[in-house]
Structure 1
Amino acid sequence: MNNKPIIGITMGDGAGVGPEIIVKSLASEEIRQQAIPLVIGDQKRLEQARDILGADLTFRTADKETSFAQELEDNTVYCLDLNLLSEDLPFGEVAAEAGHAAFEYLKTAIELANAGKIDAICTAPLNKEALHKGGHLYPGHTEILAELTDTQNFSMMLSSPKLKVIHVTTHIGLKDAIDRIEPERVYDVIKMAHQTLSQSGVKDPKIAVCGINPHAGENGLFGYGEEEEKVIPGVERAQSEGINVQGPLPADTLFFRAVRGDFDIVVAMYHDQGHGPIKVLGLDAGVNITVGLPIIRTSVDHGTAFDIAGKGAADEKSMLEALRQAIELAPQRIQ
């Protein structure tokens, strides 16, 4: 027995690269030295990925009653095998059974976290079309996690070595996003950013808030006063509580300033405003962290990559970084 954090790793869509990047990440000693990994998925699919890769990794079949705190021998990790996928499920194709299975893996991980059996969740990618075909009409992981943990106030944070971004809105169209931006939501996201960075050891984190319009509206020259109506009141409320926040600032220069080190985190108003700069810095560097949940959850910041799934070509760097972040953020386990 030891006090290493137990990290639940959901397999995501079994037709995508999830099984491969999990196997690649766990075949190296780094993660197994720092944590006890528990993969929640289909063991036969993981073993298929292992064989494709020629990796030296063994899975110990487990169930929900297993005491995962018991460390295993070298090159062996726990797998809670839900056995939901057909053996002949093809890689690289949208499948309802894979979408349903991905939902069940996540649901099981949440149950284990709520029961104190695992300390954090790290998710491999799912496919939204497959998820919907499987009967689960959610935009993605974040919304499933929020509903199953009864969380009303949450946000997506993207973290990379040079830039952190937290979002006011995410998986909705641009017109709907602008409609949903309100001072209370802007304030809540600023506060979540402040709390998250403070808890991770950043003293008096410097927060910058993007404008909605070009040049942050430029005093009414662009748009219809959205900054004055929707953003500024939230910023001013946060400032009145002593939070070190500036904005709204023009997004076209703000991300450059943040990468330069002027700010610790940027509050983006909508999906592509925040995702674009992170992904320009490198798809393998970004990690998705859901802020506001009662559970630590990190994820890769890429999709299922059906075009290369099952070919052994998937890059595991983002999964490794997501696992590192989960280990760092997980509460210390006391035996």
Structure 2
Amino acid sequence: MSYAGPEFDPRPSPRPGRGRRALLAVMVVVAVAAGGLAVQRAVSGDGGRGGPTAAPTSTNYPSGNGSSPTGASTPPSASSGSSPPDSSTARPPAGSGPLRGKVVVIDPGHNTGNARHTAEINRTVRIGNGSKECDTTGTATDAGYAEAAFTLDVSRRLRALLEKQGATVRLTQDGDRPWGPCIDERARIGNEAEADAVVSVHADGSADGDRGFHLILPGAVTEGGADTRPIVGPSRDLGERIAGHFVRVTGSAPSNYVGGGTGLVTRKDLGGLNLSKVPKVFIECGNMRDSKDAALLTSGAWRQKAAQGISDGIVGFLGG
């Protein structure tokens, strides 16, 4: 498998219940040398882990493991830039554009209020092949910039970009609820919207020196009412497209600590993926505990690039 090139996307693969326009594609493959440092981390809640070097045009990938730790407090403002001035959940009708008629659900990971509602977020919910905490607090930079603040900012920027392309966009939370939602509800929101694509936005909390982004893809889960088999292929397609555009737009390289330098990791322990019935991926945009990655994640200008890279990948996936 390979990234889509910076200007072209491969032909879209079919998704359950949805048709797409076919795209002619040109694939440009460039091998990426990346470290494969394995890092053992505590897995808690739905989240994962990733930093910029000279950006490759494309890369190949296998699968691996990753997850975000907990422990972030209520965030201060980021050092540069802020969310677009719109926190309303009532969105205007989608306009004209290549994504007109498409529905995209954006899932900002965690919630800045989770730390004040530990009883609520610590209760367990079923995720098909087991149980997991309703939600977690997420991680933070050493200076205290919370993952939840980062994810909401990038998600709002991403929404604005996709709406300009004509898509109907829904956020699972928009700073409009005191905690959560739980991971099973996050999946249910995408399912009930019959979304053409769902992206859960995260940042990782690994060790200093662990850098780069990665996409987490659903594995095949057929337990406890969950059945991800119909979405495994389309979700990989979505993840590959986002990864390729994320490299191009942000200049970040794939993770040097999970995924074997590929930028793609497959997991079966995340409720947000296990319970999804529509194509869905998680993106860990970088590692908040690495000083170099943190400098990017706290930059408003870089967060705009991150949103643009994700948006471009979604547009390519949906045939826009």
Is TM > 0.5 for Structure 1 vs Structure 2?
no
In our comparison, the structure showing a higher alpha carbon Rg is 1
TM-score, length-scaled by structure 1: 0.31
TM-score, length-scaled by structure 2: 0.32
Normalized per residue, which structure has more helix? Answer: 1
